[in-house]
Each structure stands twice: as C-alpha cells, then as structure tokens.
Amino acid sequence: MKLSAREQYGLRAMIELGRRHGQGPVSLGDVAQAQSISLGYLEQILPLLKEANLVESTRGARGGYELSRAPRQITVGDVVRALEEGYIMSLKCIPHERNEESCGRQGICAARGVWRKMHDGIVEVLDSTTLEDLIEPVGAGRLQRPA
C-alpha cells in the first residue's frame, strides 16, 4: 500500500495540531514550518479535514486551525478517510469499499483472500491508532518500536 502525499501531509498536520491541542488556533504557516510542508499544499488539505469535522477554523489575526476534539478521539483512519473521499484503500476485488465494479474474478481468484486480510488488517490498524498514540513519545504510548 502506498499512501498519497495528501494522506501523509494531512496526517502530519493533524499530529502537529494534536501536539498543540488546547492552546487555541494554530496558523497554517506555523503548521507548515513545524512539519516542513508547503503552505500552499496545506491550504488544499485543511478544508477537507474541516469538511470531515476533524478540525475547526477561526478567522482573523489570531485565527488558524485546531482539532475539533481531543487527539485521543481522532483516529488515523478518520484522517485518511477525510482525505480520500471516505475510503481507506481501493481494491477492485473488494468492491463494497467504493461501490465499484469488481474485477470479475471473485469466484476464481486464489489471491482474493489475502487481499481481503490485508485490507482488513490495514483498516484495523488505522482505526485503532489515535492521534494521541502518535503524539506520545515512543515507549510511552501503545505504538512502540520493535525490539
């Protein structure tokens, strides 16, 4: 699975907003600088996150963006879905995900089971990982580096 730049940068922006949760609105310029992301790209991404009710915006001199709820209440799956039209990943042999036509090989495809397991595993990891898990230092949260 390859994550799009939009997904990667969007998640980095959300992590940055999570780090600053409770401190008020954060300017996109500050997020861009802290995460080394193009301001222009963030200007395209944040409206999608706002539309998904993951962030709120405030206009004005002290305006910016902030999470709409606590980092522990927003999953990586929420962010990916917001940035990819509601879908985690598209596989033609799992058409229910995007209401697409299937590849037409469901009855004879020996690999379909492994694609389903892969899809389900990815969805499980993304939906069970919160922004808070990613904000906490390695070793302090649930996500720890392998020994």
CA nearest to 14, candidates 97, 129, 146: 129
Question: Secondary structure of the chain: what % helix, strand, coil (to 5)?
Answer: 50, 5, 45
CA nearest to 65, candidates 74, 76, 57: 57
pLDDT in tens, 119-136: 888 889 999 999 999 996
| Domain chopping of the chain, boundaries | 5-135
pLDDT in tens, 46-87: 999 999 999 999 998 888 999 999 999 999 999 999 998 766
Of 39-53, 83-97, 129-143, minimum mean pLDDT range: 83-97
Q: What is the pTM of this model?
A: 0.81
The CATH class that applies to domain 5-135 reads mainly alpha
CA distance 75 to 81: 10
Q: Would you tell me how many other CB atoms lie within 10 Å of the CB of residue 143?
A: 13
Strand ranges for 35-78 from DSSP E:
55-58, 64-67
